[in-house]
Structure 1
Amino acid sequence: MIQQFIELGQGYGDIYELCELIKTNEPRFHNAFIFTANHEGATVASLAVAFKPSGESKFMPIYICREGIPYNEEKLSKRIQIFKQTVQEAGQQENIFEIKHSSIFSEKNQFYQYLIGILRLNHYIPPMQ
């Protein structure tokens, strides 16, 4: 199984696109994630959704809006509320992880490999075959 992150943007208007992907691909919807990271004294969130492979494919896309949303657990932003509501309407629960910020990594690809490792280790996505 090949998993790959597909970046939609940094969480502004693209949150609505991410939610629309959940609605239109509900049969393939596998898992939803909120990744939080501390950066320059503030906590930011990345929202991501993993979909099951289509047909006989061995490719699992994970769409992400990376680190553009301020995160406060007591008072969630409207964008995070919309995401959570869409996930719940699809009959799932989002998984929240505290992670390292992408700026720690020299390349974005390393950051995404780090996230794939976390998700595989915690059995939220299938292992590599």
Structure 2
Amino acid sequence: MLQQYFIELGEGYGDIYELIELMKTNRERLHRSFIFSSTIDGKQSISVAAAFHPANESNFMPIYICREGIKQTDDSKSKRRLLFEEASEQCGQKPVFIGLKHSSEFADTRLFYQYITGILRLNNLVPPLR
């Protein structure tokens, strides 16, 4: 059974660069990249994520995420978001933009990640459970 798991990297600049490097070095495994947007108390946060095909014969599809670390203050895109979009396009992907509930609306981050997984599966952005 193919299962998707979120691996949280962090929220800082270094974490975005780590995610970009993962995408570049695993370009052939990159399934899709995502930009998730959420709003809480009138403030918008952006998460960036990348899903990779399973390695070899495993049934593990990792989705690396930098959760809500990019604050959106106006209509312009932040440098971190632009870097992620550039890297995605260099790897042959156009990031999929999805609006989500903020993770603070969930009692546990596991519930938040189950919520995202459900949205991704329903929209055929990641494979269904097999």
User: TM-score when scaled to structure 2?
Assistant: 0.96
Distance 1:11 1:4 in 2: 21
Q: Name the SS for the 2:9 alignment partner.
A: strand
Distance 1:71 1:41 in 2: 11
Give the match for residue 105 of structure 1.
Answer: 106
Give the match for residue 90 of structure 1.
Answer: 91
User: Which whole-Å deviations, capped at 9, do the CAs of 1:89-112 have from their partners, x for residues lacking one?
Assistant: 011100000000000100000000
Amino acid at match of 2:46: A
Q: Shift of the alpha carbon at 1:72?
A: 5.5
Unaligned runs of 5+ in 2: none
Amino acid at match of 1:102: S
4+ residue stretches of structure 1 with deviation over 2 A? 71-74
Give the match for residue 17 of structure 2.
Answer: 16
Give the match for residue 26 of structure 1.
Answer: 27
Q: Shift of the alpha carbon at 1:10?
A: 1.5
| Amino-acid identity (%) | 51
Structure 1 residues 102 and 58: alpha-carbon distance in aligned structure 2, compared to 1, 3 A threshold: same
Q: Name the SS for the 1:63 alignment partner.
A: strand
Give the match for residue 49 of structure 1.
Answer: 50
Distance 1:12 1:4 in 2: 23
CA-based RMSD of the aligned residues comes to 1.1
